[in-house]
Amino acid sequence: MKHVDLYTDGACSGNPGPGGWGSILVYKGKELVLSGGDPSTTNNRMELTAVIEGLSRLKEPCEVTLCSDSKYVIDSLEKGWVYGWKAKNWMRKSEPVPNADLWQKLLPLVSAHRLTYIWVKGHNGHPYNERCDKLATEQAALFA
């Protein structure tokens, strides 16, 4: 099984507000750099979109190391919270789970691969996290 590193970040100017996302896939030293944005979104939606866009580019099942500064994304997947939300029909207590539409897009992508999760502190000098942050903030600025 091929091993791929996926680095992601999301950004939002205001929350909600204009936002952007950045993803970098690394396989055997080659990089695929992706980015995009939305005129009205939230930071968490951009974090999720970065992961969705990165994983959706993989053409076959892979071992993926997902590296993100989003505790929301990493903890929800690694600690299994998202599977509990799904089991409860995307409800948490008596309220709908935020971003359920994106979680529903992400879960099939996650299940297609073997993922390892790494949380990194944002804005702390991690080279790929800094690059993804730059991609995301540049995209968000296009809508500002």
- What are the residue numbers of the active site? 9-10, 47, 69, 123, 133
Among 133, 73, 130, residue whose Cα is nearest residue 105: 73
Reported as half-sphere exposure (CB side, CA atoms, 13 A), residue 96 has a value of: 5
**CA separation (Å) from 133 to 59, 61, 102, 142, 144?**
25, 27, 20, 14, 16
